[in-house]
Homo-oligomer: A and B are copies of this chain.
């Protein structure tokens, strides 16, 4: 089975590293050359896009609808794909783009599997991603061994790819709302001259455990936003995907609208490339805590 991989950002590089380590040969392509070199050093084969699309299985880890859409639905590239080839898209994209891809691939006798992942690049490196998988059962069966290398656990959502994207978008929505809520609450503690860390310690003792509140909470309380495991501009993108999805299904999402505004504020203050937790600074600014 020939495996191609498109997109060697922090997430893609981590996945490819794990696939190589598990003994899978992988052809790789990336817009910029350095990550390709890194991966070929680990045993990957550099390839052009046509060579990638000629593979039986293509995985991609691109960052947004724009980047994804161009490559995913490039008719010239699709023409190269062998019958029954499976494309596994690990990106968080809109349900609308997933639906379009699914339809086009079906028309061409190809198979599209949505496999958005939960976890940042650190989690990806550790092979601990959670993968939400949706698509035709037989296509999933083909790629399940690869998914099991990438992730610690996978959930089979259904046979409609957009369903996995919708759930992924909502997972991120819950994280984004939690970040927003922690940012607001810790800002009150700071304004009241109490230690924000105390609040986080109390709520993460029993009420809110797991990955999000304890880890993100401590970072927010300490206002330490490094390393940048997930960029603020991507968080903004994901909240927009949630609002669009809600709108498409007739569901107002006012909490998301508030969080989106905080992200816009942060980006207008030059924070796009910061950790998305740094949206906390927008919340602090509104309370005048940025003033000397």
Contacts and interface: CB of A to CB of B under 8 A. Distances in A.
A30 interface: no
A258 B265 contact: no
Contacts of A206: 118, 130, 210-211
Interface of A: 118, 130, 132, 153, 155, 157-158, 163, 166-167, 170-171, 173-175, 177-178, 180-182, 184-185, 187-189, 191-192, 194, 198-199, 201-213, 242, 245-247, 249-262, 264-265, 267-270, 282, 285-288, 291
Q: How many copies does the complex hold?
A: 4
Contact of A265 (B157, B163, B245, B287): B287
B286 A249 contact: no
Contacts of A247: 264
Contact of A257 (B202, B208, B260, B265): B260
Given A163-B194, A174-B181, A250-B268, 7 more contacts: A173-B185, A177-B177, A181-B181, A191-B251, A207-B211, A251-B268, A257-B258
Contacts of A132: 202
Contacts of A203: 171, 174
Given A181-B178, A268-B288, A254 B250 contact: no
A208 B208 contact: yes
B166 A189 contact: yes
B286 A265 contact: yes
A286 B288 contact: no
Contact of A212 (B155, B199, B208, B260): B208
